[in-house]
Each structure stands twice: as structure tokens, then as C-alpha cells.
Amino acid sequence: MSRRRMSDHRGMTNIRTAPVGDLEIAYEAFGDPADPAVLLIMGLGTQMLAWPDELCRDLVGQGRYVVRFDNRDCGLSTHLDALPAPQPGRVLLRRERAPYQIEDMARDTLGLMDALGLEDVELVGASMGGFIAQTVAILAPERLRSLTLMMTSTGSRRVGRPAPRMARELVRRRAQRTREEAVAAAVDVFRLIGSPGYELDEEYLQRKAGMSYDRAYDPAGYLRQLAACLVQPDRTTSLRRLTVPTLVVHGLHDPLVAVSGGLALAKTIPGARFLGYSGMGHDLPRELWQEIAVEITRVARTRQPS
């Protein structure tokens, strides 16, 4: 029913796989396993490579053991090829069902923690990864020392809405025929959603997009993940009950997930702190990597004694 993508590039780093239910989840670890763990969850159709190596090393420098991984249907983790690739418009109109839910992806995350022997983590989620991280926190708050939510929202349709042109881009994203087309399309997307206050590093984006294409290019997997996002529930009521120390990081110029989404999270989760960056869009500008690493590791120190 499912398979894990194979690639000549699998051995280029320290990537391993862990069994999680019927899936194989690909992950990479940095630092000393004896240190407190930071687990990084990436967003829609985006491989773990999007967590910059330098940011991971900055977290290690803060005394953390860092794990990044590919979500199901992405990168070197299992791709659910036997499931349909739904049409976004039909999913929105409830004429077609999503093959799986954000909650299923959250349970993948918990399963990976179990497979790696991580009793608790400082959990970080970006964009769709933020939807997943919130759901993990709701399902198993005792497994989290802290929660950092980046460029994401509550699931409410009232906040975090993308600019109309961004919504069209999500829904109309087309499969590319060649590696060159896929790389060019990735750069074009970041011209739209990236940070207007920071220089666009096209060489870096091209390199990462090329690596991602070589590892696993799967437009159908993207559509299955997108369907899960389109039918996600409003988590507002459940988030009000969280007691996990939480940081919300959001670009004040994010055109894909409006800053109202981050502000709603910070308002809803008790004690959450909002950190907004002027000039930041829906990406991670290089100039902020080190500061963000410091902020992520600072959150867990706010935990109240039980």
C-alpha cells in the first residue's frame, strides 16, 4: 500500500529511518542524545532540509539534541501512493475526502518520539508543522517541555487567512516536468511568500530545491498533505486548556499565513509569548537563525513547577 522513496542522495548525510506504525519516517539528528531534545516539524510539501543546517547547529550550541524529519508523503519517509491525490477545490466543498488528517500526522510525530526513546521534547512546528505541533500538544501535553509555533495559526477560518493570490498559488500548484522546472518553480514561490525585509538568497534556495527534487519529488503527496490542511479543525477551544510553555514566532509581512493567525495563537494559549519580526514573510531569513535558536531554547525555562 505504501512505500518509502529511494534516492541516490539518501546517504549524503546522517539520515536514518524509524518504524512508526505502518510507515517509515526518515530523520536526521544533530548533537548529543544525552542533551534535551528539540524536535523540528516542517510545513506543507516541504522536506526536513528546509530546517537550515546552521539553525540546527545553533540549537546544538545551545545545549540541545536536535532531530528534524520528513513528514509522511514527503522526502524519504513513506509516501502513501495507494491513496488518492484529491482535488483541493473538491475537498473544500466536501465533495472529496482527505486521505488522512492532521491528527494522523501528529500521531506520526509521537510515534517517532517513541521510536527514538524521546520521553519529552521541545517541539517546534513551522506552518503546517505548526498545525501538527499544536495537535501533539493537545493529544499529549505531558510529552512536551515547550512548544514553539512559527508562521502558523489555530485552524480557525477567521484568522491566518492567506492573501488571495497566495490561496490561488496553493491550490493551482502544478507538477513540474523536469528538475530545472521544479527548482525554478520553488524559487518563484519564495519570491511570493518570502521575507521582503531580507535579501532573497537564490543560490541557497536553488541548492535546497535541487536536493529536495533529487530525494523525492511527489506532487501527489503534496496534494494529500494539502487536503489534511484544508479539513483541519479549529483548535481554539482545546488550545485554551494548554499549560505548555509556548512561543509564537511570526513574520509581520507573512502573505501566506496572515499575522492574525499567530496573534490568535498567542492570545489563546495561556501564557504564550508572541515574537513578531518586521520584514519577515513565510520563510526563515538567514539573519534570524541564531536569534530564533536562542528563543526556542529559552521557552522551556519558563515551565512552571508541577
pLDDT (tens digit per residue) in 213-244? 999 999 999 999 999 999 999 999 999 999 99
Which grid coordinates belong to 163? 492573501
Nearest to 149 by CA among 49, 303, 50, 40: 40
Q: What is the pLDDT of residues 121-165, one digit of tens each?
A: 999 999 999 999 999 999 999 999 999 999 999 999 999 999 888
Q: What is the mean pLDDT of residues 250-274?
A: 98
Cα torsion through 162, 168, 172, 174, rounded to 10: -70
Q: Could you give the 3-state DSSP secondary structure of residue 166?
A: helix
pLDDT, residue 168, reads 73
Reported for 220-223, long-range contacts at CB under 8 A and 24+ positions apart, including other chains, are 220/73, 220/79, 220/81, 220/85, 221/45, 221/73, 221/74, 221/79, 221/80, 221/85, 222/44, 222/45, 222/73, 222/74, 222/173, 223/85, 223/86, 223/87, 223/88
Q: Could you give the 3-state DSSP secondary structure of residue 198?
A: coil
What is the average pLDDT value for the chain, to the nearest integer? 93
Burial label, 290 (beta-carbon count in 10 A; 0-12, 13-18, 19+): middle
pLDDT, residue 29, reads 97
Q: What is the pLDDT of residues 157-197, one digit of tens each?
A: 999 999 888 777 766 667 788 999 999 999 999 999 999 99
Q: Is the pLDDT of residue 285 over 50?
A: yes
Which grid coordinates belong to 104? 494522523
pLDDT, residue 177, reads 82
pLDDT, residue 164, reads 83
pLDDT band at residue 8 using 50, 70 and 90 as cut-offs: very low
CATH code of the domain in which 44 resides: 3.40.50.1820
Q: What is the pLDDT of residues 37-93, one digit of tens each?
A: 999 999 999 999 999 999 999 999 999 999 999 999 999 999 999 999 999 999 999
Which grid coordinates belong to 139? 493529544
Q: Is the pLDDT of residue 119 over 70?
A: yes
pLDDT, residue 176, reads 82
**Residue ranges of E strands in 211-287:** 246-251, 273-277
How far apart CA 50 and CA 137 sit, in angstroms, is 23
Cα torsion through 101, 107, 112, 115, rounded to 10: -140
How far apart CA 123 and CA 54 sit, in angstroms, is 18
Which grid coordinates belong to 101? 488528517
Domain residues for the domain of 288 are 3-302
**Range of weakest confidence among 131-135, 271-275, 298-302:** 298-302
**In the chain, how many domains are there?**
1
pLDDT band at residue 4 using 50, 70 and 90 as cut-offs: very low
